[in-house]
Amino acid sequence: MPILSGVAANSYNQVVTAVIQLASLPFFLHYWGAERYGRWLMIAAIPAYFQMSDVGLSAVAMTKTCIAWARGDIDAAKVTFRSALLGVTLFALAGMLLTALGCVVFSPAGKEGGGALVLLIAGALLSTYSSLYDACFRIIDRYAYGTFIQSSIRLGEWAAGLAALAFGANFFGVALAMFVTRLICQTALTLYAHRLVPQLGISFTGASLTEIRELLPLGFAYLGFTLGSALSVQGLTLLVGNVLGARALVVFSTYRTLSRTVTQLINVVGHSIWPRFSMLYGLGQTAVAERLRVRTEQALIAASVLCLTGIALAGRSIIAFWGRGGLSYEPQVLLPLLGATALTAVYQVKLIALIATNRHIGVSLRFCIVSALALVMARVLVPTLGIAAPIAAVVGIELAMVVVVNIAFAAANEPSRANEPLASR
């Protein structure tokens, strides 16, 4: 039941993501046009980097808090949770300070765009608390409910921005509507999390700098996934927009978003089995965990191939309907991106198994390096190959990750390694 409820909650989360991605295009094109919408995409891509401001503390602290709670060590869980809360807050304040200094030094062109950027960054910094608060729901076996609440906050934030857009707001007005909504919802979530698990408490009392230092290595390792994703997604978005222009960016972003709708399915499964993997490995039930991994991987690959084939066959109709006739059908863009998504399904379950057991350090570093190299190569080749360069970068990243994850998973599951206690890794 926990896995099924997690699948349902994560399915809702991915539906929210898909709605935001798919519905944004026709609305923004209608009110702003392709050129202005392309500029907005470039502005909105930057705050994703500030979501890394907690340097992975939230995710690793959440896992450690849940393990300590499950073992009955409430005091250790409280120290970890409150220490991470302090660390996330300090990093968020540093992020806002850097934003303020950046605006003073670089003076972003246009008050409208600069103000919108600041508000979007502030909203991104607020969202860094979400992973940490997720621990409050997981430890009382209400993971699905917590996922539902946080997904609904994202949906409300987007809807507020869309409403401002419909009323004629500019960049700043849309960003302001989104930030105010995020601030109100995040405040309510903080109060609710405190009430839900008073034993942990939303407080800095008892926080330990030593605990923060112990969490940082794993946090930095986890950050590699976030940074690598930012380089491969937002980095390529900025590259296309700056080098090929706003119209080319709309094409690239639209087709990549379409291909990544299946990635949402992959993420649903991955996030749903994450807590189960942690529990099974923590209890030493590695054989049960391996059976779960194999069955999940087989089902996920089959479902992904089926969905991707359907999109490939219906691609022309989808683009015609979605773009309202404003975009041409370009199979040379769509098909390679669909192939990249298929490669994601091949390694994703193994990757989740590594992350859920804190054996992800080497993989995250390699993902970050691969993403950075792909971005550099795309920049070098884009004047010659045009939009084919970033498309090749996307495919190249996924091919490299298939190799990296399979090698890391095989090494982590060698008998000498598999029998080591998790705390020693």
Continuous H helices in 47-110: 57-70, 74-106
pLDDT tens digit string along 340-395? 999 999 999 999 888 877 787 789 889 999 999 999 999 999 888 988 999 999 99
Q: How far is CA 204 from the centre of its chain?
A: 27
Greater confidence, 83 or 243? 83
Residue 250 has a pLDDT of 83
108: helix, coil or strand?
coil
Domain-wise residue ranges, the chain: 1-207, 217-413
Query: Backbone phi, then psi, for 82, in 5-degree steps?
Result: -70, -35
Q: How far apart are CA 368 and CA 374, in angstroms?
A: 10
Query: For all residues of the chain together, what is the average pLDDT?
Result: 83
Decide if pLDDT at 64 tops 50: yes
* Higher pLDDT, residue 127 or 104: 127
Q: For the segment 296-351, what is each residue's pLDDT rounded down to a tens digit?
A: 889 889 999 999 999 999 888 888 887 766 677 888 888 999 999 999 999 999 99
Residues in CB range of 77: below 8 A, 6 or more apart: 65, 66, 68, 69, 139, 199, 200
Whether residue 89 has pLDDT greater than 70: yes
Residue 58 reports pLDDT greater than 80: yes
Distance in angstroms (rounded) separating the CA atoms of residues 274 and 190: 24
Helices assigned H by DSSP within 143-199? 143-166, 171-196
Question: Quick one: average pLDDT of 236-245?
Answer: 85
Residue 422's pLDDT is 46
- Residues 153-178 have pLDDT tens digits of 999 999 999 999 999 888 889 999 99
**Which of the four pLDDT bands, split at 50, 70 and 90, describes residue 106?**
low
Q: Rounded to whole angstroms, how far apart are CA atoms 150 and 285?
A: 31
Q: In the structure, what pLDDT confidence band is assigned to residue 17 with cuts at 50, 70 and 90?
A: confident
Tell me if 147 sits within 8 A of 2, measured CB to CB: no
pLDDT computed for residue 377 by the predictor: 93
Higher pLDDT, 193 or 267: 193
